[in-house]
Structure 1
Amino acid sequence: MSTITKEFVKGLWDELPPFRVLLGLCPTLAVTSTAENGLGMGAAVIFVLTMSNLIISTIRKIIPPKVRIACFIVITASLVVTVELLMQAYAYPLYQKLGIFVPLIVVNCLILGRAEAFASKNGVIPSIADALGMGIGFTLSLTFLGAMREMLGNGTVFGTPVMWESFQPASFMVMAPGAFVGLGLILAGMNAFNRYLSRKKGEKEPVSQNSTCASCGACNSCGQ
């Protein structure tokens, strides 16, 4: 597997942002009451993450180390303003639903984590591959969680009824507690799948589901 492909695919499972490295949990829990909200937030993050990685990797050698975090935030904030203006122009109803969480992308730990751990240390092409993989993985995670909560809480997915007529929605699933319940169910399922893979490989101990370093977002690059 080439280096570029490896950097891209790692974000789709091995380092899946919300469920593996536990990055970006604020929007993961806050906006995923519907699949549409999850997809919309994910698309915004893909744009900001990809463009910020591209810009930071391009100018990484001229950014003073002492002010690098401030520079990362300024770059990210500029991109988030661009996203806000585009959403207000072309997807205003979705922008209203996402509310304050669109401008809060500026301080999303996934964005800053990839800037600090990867884009500031690697070239443009690997940084774009890293951003796209992480962004798509993040979007799929939010969309799946949103679809699950919407289906159990409203009986719909993307606004389309998918459950039987006598289905009684669990309305709490589209409220704040439902986000934690949904996240817990997904993590439990992924951990169970991990144990299955470990047993299939003949390993005595299952691989830890959240084995990467969530504090710095370095994704095992520190060797810990």
Structure 2
Amino acid sequence: MTHPAKLILDDYRRLFRDGIWDNNVVMAQMLALCPLLAVTGTATNGLGMGLATTFVMVAAALLISMLRGIITPEVRIPVFILLIAALVTLVDLVMNAYLYEMHKALGLFIPLIVTNCAILGRAESFASRQPVHRAVVDGLAMGVGFTLILVVLGAVREIPGSGTLFADARLLLGDGFAWMELTLIPEYRGFLLMILPPGAFLALGFILAGKRVLDTRLANRAAAVKMAQA
């Protein structure tokens, strides 16, 4: 008989694999592309937006799961949007007070987290139907997966675009992040296309293609191992 703790751990692993890779907000669901393409001129901006979105996803999942028994189906969508909007307003005010440079860099895309289809969609399809612990883990997994793709896309654009990595992390995120600032190509004049919107589309296309290729190879390898064991 399988120990209950192992079942829970395996369940959490599946949720994290789903959020980070198999059902990633961007790479699998193709959601939240507007902030993804708009704010990822640097990996620092991507990290800031990802952390803000992750907080909203986790807090929204927690609240919606806790209140799922008293929210009637007829009004669930307006209630979900109201809760998400309240959380986004809180994030917006906190960032404006304590991370002003990051707030200024991300601009309108902080309040626009309210319109992120991934948050509302996950609240409707998962958090409103699951116990609190699973809803929170799922929100965290989806947020981490979204943050990772934001940072990766930001890095893919920033390195060829300006020769740096996590530029201005200290100014945008605080002095504790100064160690992240790297100049990879000194005296580099930059490749402007990668910083502009077309560069975001190109970089995202290569990332999506890479995931498809890797998924295909992993599936073929798994099939080959299964046939060898048969």
Name the TM tier (shorter chain). Answer: 0.7 to 0.9
1:139 lines up with 2:147 in the alignment: yes
Superposed counterparts of 1:92-131, under 5 Å: 92-131=100-139
The amino acid across from 2:122 in the alignment is R
Deviations 1:183-221 (A, max 9, x none): 001011111112222332347xxxxxxxxxxxxxxxxxx
The amino acid across from 2:209 in the alignment is A
Match of 1:176 among 187, 197, 201: 197
Partner of residue 152, structure 1: 160
Structure 2 CA distance for partners of 1:202 and 1:123, relative to 1, 3 Å? closer
Q: In structure 1, how many angstroms separate the alpha carbons of the residues matched to 2:161 and 2:127?
A: 39
Structure 1 window deviating more from structure 2 (149-158 vs 191-200): it is 191-200
Structure 1 window deviating more from structure 2 (123-132 vs 167-176): it is 167-176
1:161 lines up with 2:183 in the alignment: yes
1:34 lines up with 2:42 in the alignment: yes
| Runs of 4+ deviating beyond 4 Å | none
**Whose radius of gyration is greater, 1 or 2?**
2
Q: In structure 2, how many angstroms separate the alpha carbons of the residues matched to 1:51 and 1:202?
A: 39
**3-state SS of 1:62 partner:** coil
1:201 lines up with 2:222 in the alignment: yes
* Higher RCO, Cα 8 Å, sep 6+: 1
* TM-score, normalised by the number of residues in structure 2: 0.84
Q: How many residues end up aligned between the 2 structures?
A: 202
Partner of residue 6, structure 1: 14
1:188 lines up with 2:209 in the alignment: yes
Percent of matched pairs sharing the same residue: 47
**3-state SS of 1:17 partner:** coil
**1:168, CA displacement in angstroms?**
5.2
Cα pair 1:29 1:180 within 8 Å, conserved: yes
Q: Is there any run of 5+ residues in structure 1 with no aligned partner, and where?
A: 204-224
